């Protein structure tokens, strides 16, 4: 997972925390790795990702997981800047020069789709194994996340649409049952909704603002003019197949 030079310190902190989580027997059994960092470490994404995201397999284990995480944070000198009262979400501060990024987020979903599928995966960069989303589950949850951010918080993350484009390019299949359970829409209905959402809301400027800190500028400049029209084309093809 290549990081821009200005984010090397953040990458070190991110992977240090990840290694400790995967080395912890309780956490390794209770948590399933997912999200952008997971996809990048598995080679499905070619951009940097700044957060750690997991599914919690058993809600009853939440207090135990929280306790183990607090111990790891203390051992790594990660100060808890903020912590959700309602679910397992932490904003952690680490030492960094003034005006440099100094915060790492870890987010744990305690209500994943019952249709998610998981597999044992090797993360070569950290030389460890983990429980993680299958490629089809990664893709399906990313499709949903692309509009869910806007519906819940009025926010759009350009990286979601870059990631969807990358998953389509690699020929990864969609787990329609995940999409349907999480959105309450038929699979084809949601794809049509996503296509309309992209047409209305996604601009090259919005994509650049979110992706610029995470990617090489030359690579970003090359793909951005083509990303939206190709994504709409790929969605049309998927709709026609469904």
Mean pLDDT (the chain) is: 96
Tens of pLDDT, residue by residue over 104-157, are 999 999 999 999 999 999 999 999 999 999 999 999 999 999 999 999 989 999
Q: Of all residues in the chain, what percent carry a pLDDT higher than 70?
A: 100
Q: Report how far residue 200's alpha carbon sits from residue 99's, in angstroms, rounded to the nearest whole number.
A: 35
Q: Report how far residue 144's alpha carbon sits from residue 113's, in angstroms, rounded to the nearest whole number.
A: 11
Place of tokens 């390794």: 28
pLDDT band at 87 (very low <50, low <70, confident <90, very high): very high
* Maximum Cα interatomic distance, the chain, rounded to a whole number of Å: 52
Tens of pLDDT, residue by residue over 231-241, are 999 999 999 98
| Mean pLDDT confidence for 200-220 | 94
Instruction: Report pLDDT for 124.
Output: 95
pTM: 0.95
Q: Report how far residue 148's alpha carbon sits from residue 3's, in angstroms, rounded to the nearest whole number.
A: 27
First to last CA, the chain: 33
Superfamily of domain covering 1-133: JHP933, nucleotidyltransferase-like core domain (3.10.450.620)
Q: What Å distances lie between residue 46 and 32, 96, 142, 182, 215, CA to CA?
A: 21, 25, 15, 26, 8
Q: Report how far residue 161's alpha carbon sits from residue 43's, in angstroms, rounded to the nearest whole number.
A: 17
Contact 78, 92 (CB under 8 A): yes
> Is residue 96 scored above 90 in pLDDT?
yes
Instruction: Report pLDDT for 242.
Output: 79
Tens of pLDDT, residue by residue over 155-203, are 999 999 999 999 999 999 999 999 999 999 999 999 999 999 999 999 9
> Is residue 101 scored above 90 in pLDDT?
yes
Among 10-14, 89-93, 215-219, which stretch is predicted with the lowest mean pLDDT?
215-219
Closest CA to 48 of 103, 1, 100: 1
- DSSP three-state, residue 207: helix
Place of tokens 């700044």: 50
Q: What Å distances lie between residue 218 and 18, 208, 212, 223, CA to CA?
A: 29, 12, 10, 9
């Amino acid at each position: 997972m290549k990081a821009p030079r200005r984010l090397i310190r953040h990458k070190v902190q991110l992977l240090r925390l990840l290694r400790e989580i995967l080395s912890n027997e309780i956490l390794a059994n209770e948590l399933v790795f997912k999200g952008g960092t997971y996809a990048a470490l598995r080679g499905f994404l070619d951009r940097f990702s700044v957060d750690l995201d997991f599914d919690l397999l058993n809600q009853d284990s939440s207090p135990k997981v929280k306790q183990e995480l607090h111990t790891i944070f203390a051992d790594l000198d990660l100060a808890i800047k903020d912590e959700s009262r309602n679910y397992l979400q932490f904003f952690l501060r680490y030492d960094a020069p003034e005006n440099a990024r100094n915060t790492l987020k870890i987010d744990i979903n305690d209500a994943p789709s019952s249709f998610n599928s998981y597999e044992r995966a090797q993360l070569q960069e950290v030389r460890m194994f983990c429980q993680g989303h299958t490629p089809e589950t990664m893709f399906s949850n990313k499709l949903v996340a692309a509009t869910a951010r806007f519906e819940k918080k009025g926010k759009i993350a350009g990286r979601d649409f870059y990631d969807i484009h990358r998953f389509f390019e690699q020929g990864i299949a969609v787990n329609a049952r995940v999409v349907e359970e999480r959105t309450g829409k038929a699979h084809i209905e949601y794809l049509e909704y996503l296509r309309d959402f992209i047409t209305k809301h996604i601009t090259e400027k919005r994509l650049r603002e979110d992706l610029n800190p995470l990617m090489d500028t030359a690579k970003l400049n090359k793909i951005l003019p083509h990303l939206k029209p190709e994504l709409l084309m790929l969605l049309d093809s998927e709709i026609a197949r469904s």
